[in-house]
A and B are shown apart, each in its own frame.
Chain A
Amino acid sequence: MSVRSTARALPTMLRVAFAEAVAYRAEVLVWMLATTMPLIMLALWLAVAREGPVGRLGETELIAYFLSTFIVRQFTGSWACWQINTEVRDGTLAMRLLRPVHPMLAYAAEQLVSVPVRGIFSLPIAIAGLIWLGTAPFPHDPLVWMGWALSMLGAWLISLFVNFIVGCSSLFLESSLKIMDIWLALFFVFSGYLIPVELFPPIVRAIGDWLPFRYQIGLPVELMTGVYDRAASLTMLGRQWLMVVVLGAFTAFVWRRGIGRFAAYGG
């Protein structure tokens, strides 16, 4: 499992995964439609804002916020946990172990190719949003946008690592989908996906700063909608990447301990 053979295999892996992703176009579309929750929350918050702005957020800011949420979610979603659970149970993980590429890397490649596919679908929504709102609600500092790109990568990695950790814990628990259910419930509430993090009471917000959820959605969205100045952006990015490193290390640990227990049920 050398670095060289992995690097050589990577383009082919991406190509195969991309072909698979494009083969189920209808499926991708259905999944995208299933993540329209931010748009429903937008309708709710607009109803709240009709009588006047909510904190800092007026109608324009709310529309910008939830459209950004929709887009960030499209790009940073991950489903590796479900995949690992299935493959542990039916034994196909054994096949992945035989290949000269680390299974985690293969899963990551499969998730990565969904990014351009989802991009094709979310781009029209992003453009419509820009036409609707103009560029005023979004930051004009190129440095902030570089930070945003970094935060998107960080958010993607956090989602991926969490999926890996919960997925690999199925090696200890037979099925870890219920743990994922609990994670998702917390994620929906505390990530900024349904409620802008700034609207939470201060105590909840302070706790949330040290949990991974808001770095999966909230941070990229806040950078996109110009909540922070440069210094604050850097602090938040620092925390996010700290989270990435910790979760990455934990993923490696869980994988190493878990794979020793793997017994291919499928035979």
Chain B
Amino acid sequence: MRRYLHLLAAQIRTSTLLGLQYRVDFVLDGIIEIFWALTAIVPLFIVFSKRESVAGWSFGESLLVVAWFTLLTGVLEGAIHPSLAAVVEHVRKGTLDFVLLKPADAQFLVSTARFQPWRAVNAVTAMILFVLAFRKIGHGPTPWGIAGALALLAAAMVILYSLGILTVSAAFHVVRVDNLSQLFSSIFDAARWPVAVFRGALRLVFTFVIPLALMTTYPSLALLGRLPWHAFVLSFVVAIVFAAGSRAIWLRAISQYTSAGG
């Protein structure tokens, strides 16, 4: 366990240094990240200029969902997608063999191989959105609400990471994963809205199949003190199922992997 923590620290350090190597890029990327986040909330303003509430969600409450979305986008693009891209490159070039030969767990190595530190800007943007949202709502969250939301954030990150590993496992069959991650992002885009917006089959899909509701709507509800406890428990059950499932599928994919170099 301690060895893995050391390893994690080393990997983060090298990718931060790599990220800082091109300073102009670093600043530009940060600016573009903020710009994206700002354009992403334009639809919200337009929608709420026409209505007081949508599907039972007020402007402030919806802004809360967007804040969670922004935060998780930072995680997705800063930590998950770069590693995915790295694995795909390994598979294409045949260098995955070197990773498999190393005396540490391969899944751990590939998922910590690359970080894009400037995506952390998203966390800052998210914090600003959180503050704005609670100012609109008129009262802050309770300590219990915050604790619950943080626990749900951990569950959300586990689910997001598991979905990433599932995508990588798919990459062993479909080598072109750059568009798989594109697909992933565009589905994740739906998490920008409270799940109450979606009806029927789409809501079931976004709750259980691709559990977007668990990632952004539930933490928001927890902060508002309106999340029923069974939904809270459900989030953790789903997170565990996803983590175990993706681990099993990853191990299967690795065991069937035949090197590209040979």
Chain A residues within 8 Å of B, Cβ to Cβ: 24, 26-27, 30-31, 33-37, 40-41, 43-48, 50-51, 54-55, 178, 181-182, 185-186, 188-189, 194-195, 199-201
> Are B47 and A44 interface neighbours, CB within 8 A?
yes
CA distance A37 to B193 in the complex (A): 12
> Are A199 and B50 interface neighbours, CB within 8 A?
yes
Interface residues of B in 20-67 (CB under 8 A from A): 28-29, 32, 35-36, 39, 42-43, 46-47, 49-51, 54-55
Chain B hits for A30, CB < 8 A: 179-180, 182-183
Chain A hits for B43, CB < 8 A: 41, 44, 189, 194-195
CA distance A31 to B174 in the complex (A): 14
**B4 contacts partner chain A, Cβ-Cβ < 8 Å:** no
CA distance A178 to B183 in the complex (A): 20
In this complex, the interface size class of chain B, counting residues with CB under 8 Å from chain A, is 20 to 34
* Shortest CB distance A82–B (Å): 10
Given that A185-B36, A195-B43 are contacting pairs, would A44 and B183 also be in contact in the complex, using a CB cutoff of 8 Å? Answer: no
Among residues of A, the one whose C-beta sits closest to the C-beta of B174 is A26
* Shortest CB distance B50–A (Å): 5
* Shortest CB distance B109–A (Å): 27
* Shortest CB distance A24–B (Å): 8
> Are A37 and B189 interface neighbours, CB within 8 A?
yes
**How many A-B contacts are there with CB distance less than 8 Å?**
75
> Are B54 and A44 interface neighbours, CB within 8 A?
yes
Given that A33-B183, A34-B179, A47-B54 are contacting pairs, would A199 and B189 also be in contact in the complex, using a CB cutoff of 8 Å? Answer: no
Chain A hits for B193, CB < 8 A: 40, 43-44
Given that A36-B186, A37-B189, A47-B55 are contacting pairs, would A27 and B39 also be in contact in the complex, using a CB cutoff of 8 Å? Answer: no
> Are B186 and A35 interface neighbours, CB within 8 A?
yes
Among residues of A, the one whose C-beta sits closest to the C-beta of B33 is A181
Chain B hits for A200, CB < 8 A: 46
Among residues of B, the one whose C-beta sits closest to the C-beta of A187 is B39
> Are B32 and A43 interface neighbours, CB within 8 A?
no
CA distance A185 to B36 in the complex (A): 6
Task: Enumerate 24 A-B pairs (CB-CB under 8 Å) in ascending A order.
Answer: A31-B179, A31-B182, A34-B185, A35-B186, A36-B186, A40-B193, A41-B43, A43-B199, A44-B47, A44-B54, A45-B47, A47-B196, A47-B198, A48-B50, A48-B51, A51-B51, A55-B50, A178-B29, A182-B32, A185-B35, A185-B36, A188-B39, A199-B46, A199-B50
> Are A27 and B186 interface neighbours, CB within 8 A?
no
Chain A hits for B147, CB < 8 A: none
Among residues of B, the one whose C-beta sits closest to the C-beta of A186 is B39
Chain A hits for B29, CB < 8 A: 178
CA distance A123 to B193 in the complex (A): 29
Interface residues of B in 194-232 (CB under 8 A from A): 196-199, 202
Among residues of B, the one whose C-beta sits closest to the C-beta of A200 is B46
Given that A40-B190, A41-B43 are contacting pairs, would A27 and B54 also be in contact in the complex, using a CB cutoff of 8 Å? Answer: no
CA distance A43 to B197 in the complex (A): 7
Among residues of B, the one whose C-beta sits closest to the C-beta of A31 is B179
> Are A27 and B176 interface neighbours, CB within 8 A?
yes
CA distance A24 to B43 in the complex (A): 34
Chain B hits for A194, CB < 8 A: 43
Chain B hits for A201, CB < 8 A: 49
Given that A26-B174, A189-B39 are contacting pairs, would A43 and B202 also be in contact in the complex, using a CB cutoff of 8 Å? Answer: yes
> Are A34 and B182 interface neighbours, CB within 8 A?
yes
Chain A hits for B47, CB < 8 A: 44-45, 48
Chain A hits for B36, CB < 8 A: 181, 185
> Are B28 and A178 interface neighbours, CB within 8 A?
yes
CA distance A105 to B146 in the complex (A): 57
* Shortest CB distance A33–B (Å): 6
The residue from B179, B183, B186, B198 contacting A43, defined by CB atoms under 8 A apart? B198
Among residues of B, the one whose C-beta sits closest to the C-beta of A30 is B179
CA distance A194 to B28 in the complex (A): 26
